[in-house]
């Protein structure tokens, strides 16, 4: 009995490992995706170890040193210093931390309800359930996202948490739509029919039969969306509705520095480049994932 169980587990594990190996093979066919992944890993590691690797971790908090204010890039301050003497490099790394946190929390909050509602709507295609869910989704999609986010954050007090909440509220309808499109086209596939005929529960059909087939587009979109969410977060911060000073936030840093262009270019250009870099990395990885999930032609 135990032996059988062990063999069973080992076989399942081997299967999974083979799947991963094949996925990596397809991903690595595109060198740009690998570059994106490397950049992403470096950024994630850097944010994780920010307190240890940055030269002036204290600069991420309330710190002023007017003597060192507005210095151009040098070996001491790689990205220069801002108008109150904080090291821009340190703040960019810490800024990444909040950007990534924003992205993860927003997608975490937004994707789950979107996916569940999309699955339900797809499974009940053509009934009032679908109509209700999809029309509510449409209402959310009809409002321009930035305007809604501005309205929500302006209504509440501007803070990182409210910013996340506002963006998450905008984000679920996209996943609902995406999952609805995939799952409703799957609705009449015979394997769904077969599960129904054999008497499987709806939860089984939604989460065991349909969800695994939706994962590919969901994961791809999530990766691509990380960049967009980070950009949206930066935009909100740029207009002062995101994280409040002295929290290091890339959008706020760009906004602050922009007032001093073109003289102190480094305090705005480097945070801006940092935003570009992370978005680019997410997009490259997203493209790679798309290749992984693409159906083989052979």
Partner 1 sequence: MALLEVKDLCVGYRIFEGHLRVLNRARLEVDSGERVGLVGETGCGKTTTVKSILRVLPTPPAEVASGEILYRGADILRMSHRGIRDLRRREMTAIFQDPLQSLNPMFTVGTQLRDILKDSMGGRGRGRLSRREIEARCIAALHETGMPDPERIMHNYPSQLSGGMRQRVCIAEALSREAQLLLADEPTTNLDVTIQDQILRKLDELVDEKGTSVLIITHSMGVVRDLTQRMYIMYAGTMVETGRTKDLLAAPRHPYTQGLMESVPRLTGVGISDGIPGRIPNYLDPPSGCRFHPRCVHVMPVCKETAPEFFSVGEGHVVACYLYRS
Partner 2 sequence: MPESILSVENLTKCFPTKQGLVRAIDGISFVMAPGDTLGLVGESGSGKTTTAQCIVGMYPPTSGDILFKGETIGAAFNRRPKHVKGDLRIVFQDPGSSLNPKRTIKQILSVPLAVHRVGTSRDRLARMKALLEMVELPADEYLYKYPQAIGGGEKQMVALARALATNPSLVLLDEPTSALDVSVQAKIINLLIRLRRELNLTYLFITHDLSLMRNVASRVAIMYLGKLCEIAPTVEFFEHPVHPYTKMLLSSIPVVSDEEEALKPHKAISKGEIPSPVNIPPGCSFHSRCSERGDSCAELDPEMREIAPGHVVRCNHWCGPEGE
Is the Cβ–Cβ distance between 282 and 297 less than 8 Å? Answer: no
Q: State whether the Cα torsion 94-96-99-100 is positive or negative.
A: negative
Half-sphere exposure of 29 (CA within 13 A, CB side): 14
Q: How many residues bind partner 2 (CB under 8 A)?
A: 25
Joined together, the tokens standing for residue 188 give 């009449």
Residue 297 lies near partner 1 (rule: CB under 8 A)? yes
Contact partner at residue 193 from partner 2, partner 1, none, CB < 5 to 8 Å by partner kind: partner 2
Window 83-122: contact mask with partner 2 (x via CB under 8 A):
----------------------------------------
Q: How far is the CB of 249 from partner 1 (least distance, A)?
A: 42
* C-alpha dist (Å) from residue 42 to 80, 259, 297: 21, 30, 34
Which residues in the 194-223 window bind partner 2 by CB under 8 A? 194-201, 204, 208-209, 212-213, 215
- Pick the binder of partner 1 from 22, 204, 208, 259 (CB under 8 A): 22
Joined together, the tokens standing for residue 181 give 């499109």
Residue 2 lies near partner 2 (rule: CB under 8 A)? no
**Angle (nearest 5°) at CA 64 between 247 and 240:** 35
Residue 13 lies near partner 1 (rule: CB under 8 A)? no
Contact partner at residue 76 from partner 2, partner 1, none, CB < 5 to 8 Å by partner kind: none
Cis amide leading into 246 (omega within 30):
yes
Distance of alpha carbon 197 from alpha carbon 30, whole angstroms: 43
Among the listed ranges 132-140, 158-166, 194-202, 290-298, the one in contact with partner 1 (CB under 8 A) is 290-298
Interacting residue ranges for partner 1, rule: CB under 8 A: 22, 25-26, 296-298
């Amino acid at each position: 009995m135990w032996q059988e169980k062990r063999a069973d587990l080992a076989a399942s594990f081997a299967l999974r490992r083979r799947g991963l190996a094949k996925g990596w093979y397809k991903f690595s066919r595109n060198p740009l995706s690998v570059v994106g992944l490397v950049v992403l890993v470096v950024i994630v590691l850097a944010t994780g170890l920010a307190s240890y690797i940055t030269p002036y971790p204290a600069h991420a908090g309330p710190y002023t040193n007017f003597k060192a204010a507005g210095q151009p890039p040098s070996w001491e301050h790689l990205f220069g210093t801002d108008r109150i003497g904080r090291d821009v490099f340190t703040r960019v790394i810490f800024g990444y931390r909040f950007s990534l946190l924003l992205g993860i929390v927003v997608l975490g909050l937004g994707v789950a309800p979107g996916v569940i509602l999309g699955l339900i709507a797809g499974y009940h295609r053509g009934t009032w359930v679908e109509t209700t869910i999809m029309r509510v989704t449409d209402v959310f999609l009809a409002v321009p996202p930035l305007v809604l986010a501005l309205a929500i954050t302006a209504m509440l007090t501007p803070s990182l948490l409210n910013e996340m909440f506002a963006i998450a509220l905008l984000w679920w309808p996209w996943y609902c739509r995406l999952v609805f499109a995939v799952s409703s086209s799957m609705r009449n596939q015979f394997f769904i029919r077969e599960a129904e005929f054999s008497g499987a529960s709806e939860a089984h059909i939604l989460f065991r039969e349909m969800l695994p087939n939706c994962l590919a587009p969901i994961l791809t979109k999530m990766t691509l969306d990380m960049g967009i969410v980070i950009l949206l977060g930066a935009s909100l911060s740029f207009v002062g509705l995101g994280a409040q000073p002295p929290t290091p936030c890339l959008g706020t840093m760009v906004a602050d520095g922009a007032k001093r262009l073109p003289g102190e270019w480094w305090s705005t250009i480097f945070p801006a480049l940092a935003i570009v870099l992370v978005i680019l990395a997410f997009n490259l990885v997203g493209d790679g994932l798309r290749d992984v999930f693409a159906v083989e032609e052979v």
